[in-house]
Amino acid sequence: MKTQITSKEIWSIALPIMLGYMAQTIINFTDTAFLGHLGVIALGASMLAGLFYFVFTTVATGFAVGIQIMVARRFGEKKYDRIGVIFEHGSLFVFILGSILFSVLYFFSDRLLLWLIDSANIYESSLEYIKYRQFGIIFVCFNFLYRALYVGISNTKVITYSTIIMAVVNIILDYCLIFGNLDFPRMGVGGAALASFCAEAAAFLFFTLYSYFTLRKNEFGVFKFHKLEAVLMGRILKISTPTMIQKLFSFGVWFVFFVLIEKMGETATGISSITRSIYMILVTPCFAFATTTNTLVSRVIGEGNSDKVFSVINKVLKNYLLCTLPIVAFVAIFPLQIVGIYTDDFNFAQLVVPSVFVICSGTVFQGIGNAYFEAVSGTGNTSAALYLESVILVVYVLFVFAMTQFTTRVEFVWSAEILYGVLLGIICFLYMKYAGWNKLKI
C-alpha cells in the first residue's frame, strides 16, 4: 500500500499537539509573567522548583512515548482492538509510577533542594512552590498517557480542548492567588504552584470524562476490562524503559544547566528564568513537529512503507520551518518589548536581550535535531535513541560547566542549546541513513 503523507495531514496532527505542549508553556509563561513583578527571587524559585518537579514527570513522559509508538503502530496495522488493551496496561503502570514519584517528592524534596540550591532566599521560596505543586504529579502522569493515546490514533483535537481548560484555570487562579485579588489570599510563589496544580487536575478530569463517553463504545476497547498480559507489559516496558531513561537523563541535564547558572548568582538566575520562558514558547512547534515525526514514522512502518520514512521526515521539517521562522524573526526584531512583559526594570530587561538572540538561533537547530531524533524513536529502536542522546548530553554538560566557570556572560552558557541541536541532528541523521532500523519488529 502506497503511503502519501500530505502537509494538511501533518498540520492536522502537529497543530493540536502544539497546543498540547502549549499547556505547560502557558503555565510557565503566566507564572513567570506574574512572578516577574515580585522580583528575581520569585523568578528563580519558580524556575528551579518547577524544573525540579518536571525532572520527576519526565519518567512518565518517556513511558508515554513508548505507549504512543505502540498505539500508532497498531493503528497503522489496523489492529484497533489492541489499542484499548495497551492503554489499560499503561494506566496500571502510570498509577504505580505516579504514586512512587509523589512519595519521593513528599519526603525528600527539602533535602534534595538544599543540596542543589546555594541561595537561601531561593531555597525557601522553592520549598513553598513544591509544597503545593507535588500533589499534581499523578494527574500529570495520566495526562501524558492520555495525550499519547490521542496522538497515536491521530485524534489530537482533544489535546486542544484540554490545553484551553488548563490555560484558563491557570491564568485565573494565578491572578487570584499570587497577588491576592478578588478576596483570595496573597500567596506569591505558593499561589502560582497551587494554580498549576488545579490546572493539571482540571485537564485530567476533562480527559477522563471525554474518553469515557467517546471511546468506551468504539472499536478501540478503551475503558473495558482486559486480562493482564505479562508478555504485552514486557513489550511495552522494553520500548518505554529506554525512553524513560532518556527523558530523565535529558531533562535532568536541563535541570543541571539551571543549577549551574544559579551558582552564577541571583541576577543570572533571573535572566535565565525569563529566557527559559521565552524559549519554551519558541520551541513548542519544535516538540510538536518532532512528535508528529515520531507518530508518522511509526505509522508508515506499520503500513509496510519503510522506504517512505525520509520523505515523511523532510516534509515535516519543511512545515516546521514555515511555522517557526516567522515567530523567531518576530522575537529577534522585538526582544526588548517581549522581555518587558516579564519585568518593569528596563536595565534588567537589557541584560536578558543577548540570551534571547541566542535562543532564536537555538530554536531552529533544535527543531531539525529533534525531528531526526524522534524519527529514531519512531522506528521502535528506543535503545538506540537513548545511546545516541547520551553521548550528546555528556558533551552538552561539559560545555555548560566550562561556560559557567570561565565566563560571566549568561548568553554564552545558553549557546549550549545551539550545540545540542546541531549534534543531535547530525548523529541521528547518520543513524537513519545507515543503520538497519527497518528490520526491527515491535
Residue 68: CB atoms within 10 Å: 30
**One-character DSSP codes across 292-358:** HHHHHHHHHHHTT-GGGHHHHHHHHHHHHHHHHHHHHHHHHHSHHHHHTTT-S-HHHHHHHHHHHHH
Tell me how far apart the alpha carbons of residues 177 and 93 are, in angstroms, rounded to a whole number: 34
End-to-end alpha-carbon separation of the chain, Å?
20
The confidence score (pLDDT) of residue 197 equals 94
> In the 3-class helix/strand/coil scheme, how is 176-226 assigned residue by residue?
HHHHCHHHCCCCCHHHHHHHHHHHHHHHHHHHHHHHHHHHCCCCCCCCCCC
Name the nearest CA neighbour of 412 among 361, 354, 366: 354
The confidence score (pLDDT) of residue 438 equals 67
The confidence score (pLDDT) of residue 20 equals 67
Backbone angles phi, psi at 219, to 5 degrees: -75, -10
Name the nearest CA neighbour of 118 among 264, 286, 318: 264
Which three three-digit cell numbers place residue 153?
A: 490514533
Which three three-digit cell numbers place residue 168?
A: 484558563
Divide the 442 residues of the chain into consecutive groups of 10 and give the mean pLDDT of each group: 72 76 71 74 80 86 85 82 87 93 93 86 90 93 91 80 88 91 90 92 94 78 78 87 84 85 85 88 90 85 82 92 94 93 86 95 94 87 84 93 89 94 94 76 60
